[in-house]
Amino acid sequence: MKIIDLSKPIQYNKNDPWFMKVKIKHKPHRKAKWLIRVLGLPFKLFPKGFTGWADDTIQKMGVHSTTHIDAPWHYSPTVNGEKAKTIDEVPLDWCFGEGIVIDMKHKVDFDAITVKDITTFLDEQNLTIEPKMIVLIKTGRDKYNGTKDFHKIGTGMSAEATEWLIDKGIKVMGIDSWGWDLPLPYMLQKAKETGNSELFWEAHLVGQRKEYCHMEQLVNLDALPYTGFKIAVFPLKIVGASAAPARVVAMME
């Protein structure tokens, strides 16, 4: 079996904006050696070659800072009038299944992905979306991941395309852009320019009416065929959280 990693490394990056910054403290082996001595074990009783253990502390990392999956709770406290699921409540059988890649690399920045875009691609490739698949939207913008402008550029999903996937029986979908919608600064600008309150976060807010999860900041989708693989996207079980980092992997025989 071939396993392909679709998750970005979790590490400090000076180019990340403040809301994406990750800070991890790495503790060397010698620190633990002295801790064990303080706890009462004399050095002469240390096992031969024992240098202590390495340890690490995540000092700062938002649940949306790296490759992650958003729970319905992220979009709204309710879905169609019922309490929305937090990330620990998302069924695990949503998080494993047959994968399909929708290639949208031709879409220019700030041009939203439509139902027609998706159906045209499926028709050209003779592909079909089946219920319970995990749908991956490939935009090619992962090449900007780690740069200071990552969250400012790219395409994103429209509300209609998001709803269309949900109606096809899709519970989990993902994208290799910073976010599922068009870039956040662009949405803010256009909403203010037009006075249209429906422009901001339109794809996310489909989750107010229809239950689904999406992944953001995927990487390496170019390494996948369009079909013929399984996807695992198991989030950290953070009780009450709106999202969680996930090690997203594709598996192919």
Give CA–CA dist 230/198, Å, rounded: 35
pLDDT value at position 36? 79
Q: What is the pLDDT of residue 33?
A: 78
The domain limits of the chain are: 23-60, 68-252
Structure tokens at 239: 């009780």
pLDDT tens across 215-237, in order? Answer: 999 999 999 999 999 999 999 99
- pLDDT at position 118 is 98
Residue 215 CA to residue 170 CA, distance in Å, equals 13
Angle between helices 159-167 and 115-125 (to 10 degrees): 50
What value does the mean pLDDT of the chain take? 95
pTM: 0.94
- For 128-178, the pLDDT digits (tens) are 999 999 999 999 999 999 999 999 999 999 999 999 999 999 999 999 999
> Residues, the chain, total?
253
| Percent of the residues in the chain that have a pLDDT greater than 70, as a whole number | 100
DSSP assignment of 127-188, as one string?
A: ----TT-EEEEE-SGGGGTTSTTGGGS---B-HHHHHHHHHTT--EEEESSSSSSS-HHHHH
Query: 67: which DSSP letter?
Result: S
What sign has the CA pseudo-torsion 154, 158, 161, 167? positive
Kindly report the CATH number that applies to the domain delimited by 68-252: 3.50.30.50
